[in-house]
């Protein structure tokens, strides 16, 4: 498993507001095996110029990148180069308001972040320039800002997420190339605790400016003007992750940290007297407690002792409430995005370990572009020997959402999507993007009304109470191109309507000459027209559900077809089988129905009927 493919939506959103966002974006896409896909396409445009921050001179031949983060947490990237006047443009990009774009450039092999861009409703074009600050290797103007440490109990130990801030009040970008670092001073130095392992940075990439040797960590830039954060995490083993009640470790602060904050899980008790509890605003730090340590001398080593109540193991306290799967099928592959909604029952936190994970997500064989994440802090997904992903970590009572995305290669149609899960699934919802030529079929899933977004229609299939390890089968085939029946039938219906009106006008005279011999033929023609109109209604409903008919046209056509169908059925009820029957029947004066002679009120409309006795 390539862990660089692991993408947590929470980390990616935090990444956008940090100064290292574009640095990591360039680094993550520099490796061919982790090639990031293109940004979502559309009719939007982002234009701009690459300029020197001092003097505003245009900079030609500079690599410019546009980084996109979708609502599903999947990144996309597109590159171009500035022209002789420093201009660049990214055309044919999506204007979806849920998309966040980050603009950046690479100048003298240093990433420079630009603007964070979203399209407002109705906007088709955005303008944003990228300013390139002069570069300096002098760190004397830099200072350490706040330092934060977040403690998260995992299924194998304790994960520490450390965030360190560097303040750069000057106009220069600090950066020291690898060849010039000997004897130079970095922007920041930090040391990991003894026994620290599984070091990670956002996107699974360590940028060129971050140097790690054993426990020592140095940041050589780039540090752009303003404040920037460096975030990383590591794990510290504890004797028994499930039952340990007392955790002790030493944290050495970076030089000159001006403020310190420690985050611990709710229910834990911090025994270190150097920290004071902080009252958080509603919604801030969900599931965590904050403690401030104030200013500390450079290089201070803090011995932290934490009492943590034993967590319950995941067995029998995690319920799978719902699974949603979004499928997009083309000629080459089927893209799948699964959302698993878990409920943690009871009142205490629960711990998922390798032996008893919170949840297990089976992964089909041969998938590509596997990505996954969870909306809870401290929750990780790791490969499991059973051939899927185990959800590990500590979660508070409530709802936990896990997402898994992957692609399946398509060799031929029909495409088969068979899934099963180890827990009972009360509700399974599958949404298939409908380009107009797909036909899903399943004995277990039943159809619901289609779901629509601004640009797509999804066929909605649903199943209830899927048992543990029960296989739900879905086959997706192509159907042949549909004939344009709705328009043809509608025009035919209009023509038949005109002919019928003319026939009704001359019917009394015509009946006098022809008698009842042709009554059966008339009823047959009317029946054929009625069936044609009903078929047109069915096709119109389908075309509207799949987005092929506009709402205004749908309302007009549906009203006319329904009115004609009702008129035809009423005509059939009013047409007697013979002249004698017409004379003897008590016809309803309100709706024209021919009721049973014994009835006193019309069964169709409820109106009083004329007495047979006169």
**127 and 274 share a domain?**
no
263-294 tens-digit pLDDT: 887 777 888 777 888 888 776 766 678 888 86
**498 and 450 share a domain?**
no
- The two tokens of residue 38 are 């293109």
Cα distance between residue 354 and residue 553, in whole Å: 58
525-581 tens-digit pLDDT: 556 566 666 666 666 666 666 665 666 666 766 777 677 677 766 666 655 544 343
**385 and 446 share a domain?**
yes
Q: If pLDDT is split at 50, 70 and 90, which confidence band does 437 have?
A: confident
Residues 6+ apart with CB under 8 A from 165: 144, 145, 146, 147, 227, 228, 229, 230
Measured CA distances, 282 to 100, 247, 253, 278, 287 (Å): 26, 28, 29, 12, 11
Say which residue, 115 or 349, is predicted with more confidence.
115
- Looking at residue 35, its pLDDT comes to 56
Q: Is residue 11 part of a domain?
A: yes
Which of 277, 310, 343 corresponds to the end of one domain? 310
- Looking at residue 507, its pLDDT comes to 43
360-375 tens-digit pLDDT: 999 998 898 888 888 8
Q: Is residue 42 part of a domain?
A: yes
Q: If pLDDT is split at 50, 70 and 90, which confidence band does 589 have?
A: low
- Which bin fits 430, alpha (ψ -120 to 50), beta or left (φ > 0)? beta
Highest mean pLDDT (candidates 30-34, 166-170, 445-449, 498-502):
166-170
- Evaluate if residue 23 carries a pLDDT over 90: no
Cα distance between residue 266 and residue 233, in whole Å: 20
> How many independent structural domains does the chain possess?
5
Buried b or exposed e, range 514-532, using 16+ CB within 10 angstroms: eeeeebeebeeebeebbeb
- Looking at residue 331, its pLDDT comes to 86
Q: Is residue 580 part of a domain?
A: no
Q: Is residue 411 part of a domain?
A: yes
Domain span at 105: 3-132
**560 and 613 share a domain?**
no
Cα distance between residue 476 and residue 441, in whole Å: 6
- Evaluate if residue 582 carries a pLDDT over 60: no
Is the pTM for the entire model greater than 0.75? no
Of 321, 346, 197, 320, the C-alpha closest to 267 is 346
Cα distance between residue 91 and residue 45, in whole Å: 4
**152 and 297 share a domain?**
yes
38-92 tens-digit pLDDT: 899 999 999 999 999 988 999 999 999 999 876 655 678 899 999 999 999 999 9
**292 and 157 share a domain?**
yes
- Looking at residue 144, its pLDDT comes to 84
In the chain, what are the helix, strand and coil shares in percent, each to the nearest 5?
Answer: 20, 40, 40
């Amino acid at each position: 498993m390539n862990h660089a493919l692991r993408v947590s939506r929470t980390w990616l959103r935090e990444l956008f507001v940090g100064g290292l966002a574009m640095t990591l974006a360039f680094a993550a896409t520099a490796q061919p095996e982790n090639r990031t896909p293109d940004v979502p396409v559309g009719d939007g445009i982002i234009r701009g110029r690459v300029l020197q921050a001092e003097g505003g001179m245009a900079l030609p031949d500079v690599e410019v990148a546009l980084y996109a983060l979708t609502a599903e947490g999947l990144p996309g990237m597109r590159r171009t180069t500035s022209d002789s006047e420093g201009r660049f443009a990214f055309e044919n990009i999506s204007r979806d308001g849920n998309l966040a774009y980050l603009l950046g450039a690479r100048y003298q092999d240093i990433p420079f972040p630009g603007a964070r861009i979203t399209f407002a409703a109705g906007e088709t074009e955005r303008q944003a320039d990228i300013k390139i600050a002069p570069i300096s290797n002098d760190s004397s103007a830099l200072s350490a800002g706040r330092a934060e440490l977040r403690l998260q109990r995992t299924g194998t130990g304790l994960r520490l997420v450390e965030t360190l801030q560097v303040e750069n009040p000057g106009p220069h970008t600090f950066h020291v190339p690898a060849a010039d670092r000997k004897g130079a001073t970095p922007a920041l130095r930090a040391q990991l605790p003894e026994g620290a392992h599984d070091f990670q940075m956002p996107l699974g990439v360590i940028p060129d400016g971050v140097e790690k040797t054993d426990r020592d960590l140095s940041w050589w830039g780039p540090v752009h003007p303003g404040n920037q954060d460096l975030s990383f995490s590591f794990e510290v083993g504890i004797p028994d992750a499930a039952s340990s009640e007392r955790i002790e470790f030493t944290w050495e602060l970076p030089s000159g940290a001006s403020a310190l904050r420690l985050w611990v899980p709710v229910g834990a008790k911090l025994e270190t007297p150097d920290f004071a509890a902080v009252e958080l605003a509603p919604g801030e730090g969900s599931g965590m407690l904050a403690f401030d340590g104030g200013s500390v001398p450079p290089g201070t080593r803090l011995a932290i002792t934490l009492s943590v109540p034993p967590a319950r193991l995941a067995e029998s306290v995690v319920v799978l409430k719902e699974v949603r799967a979004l499928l997009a099928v083309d000629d080459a592959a089927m893209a799948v995005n699964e959302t698993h909604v878990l409920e943690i029952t009871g009142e205490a936190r629960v711990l998922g370990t390798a032996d008893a994970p919170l949840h297990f997500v089976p992964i089909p064989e041969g998938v590509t572009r596997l990505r996954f994440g969870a909306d809870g802090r401290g929750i990780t997904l790791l490969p499991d020997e059973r051939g899927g992903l185990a959800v590990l970590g500590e979660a508070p009572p409530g709802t936990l959402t896990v997402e898994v995305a992957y692609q399946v290669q398509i060799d031929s149609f029909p495409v088969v999507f068979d899934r099963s899960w180890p827990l009972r699934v009360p509700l399974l919802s599958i949404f298939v993007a409908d380009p107009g030529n797909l036909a899903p079929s399943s004995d277990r899933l039943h159809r619901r009304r289609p779901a629509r977004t601004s640009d797509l229609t999804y066929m909605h299939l649903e199943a209830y109470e899927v048992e543990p390890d029960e296989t739900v089968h879905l086959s997706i085939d192509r159907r042949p191109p549909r004939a344009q029946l709705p328009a043809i039938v509608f025009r035919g219906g209009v023509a038949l309507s005109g002919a019928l009106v003319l026939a009704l006008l001359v019917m009394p005279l015509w009946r006098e000459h022809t008698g009842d011999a042709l009554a059966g033929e008339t009823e047959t023609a009317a029946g054929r027209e009625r069936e044609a109109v009903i078929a047109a209604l069915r096709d119109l409903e389908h075309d509207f559900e799949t987005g092929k008919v506009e709402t205004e046209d749908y309302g007009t056509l549906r009203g006319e077809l329904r009115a004609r169908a009702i008129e035809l059925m009423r005509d059939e009820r009013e047409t007697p089988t013979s002249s004698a029957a017409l004379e003897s029947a008590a016809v309803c004066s309100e709706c024209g129905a021919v009721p049973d002679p014994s009835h006193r009120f019309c069964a169709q409309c409820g109106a009083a009927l004329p007495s047979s006795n006169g």
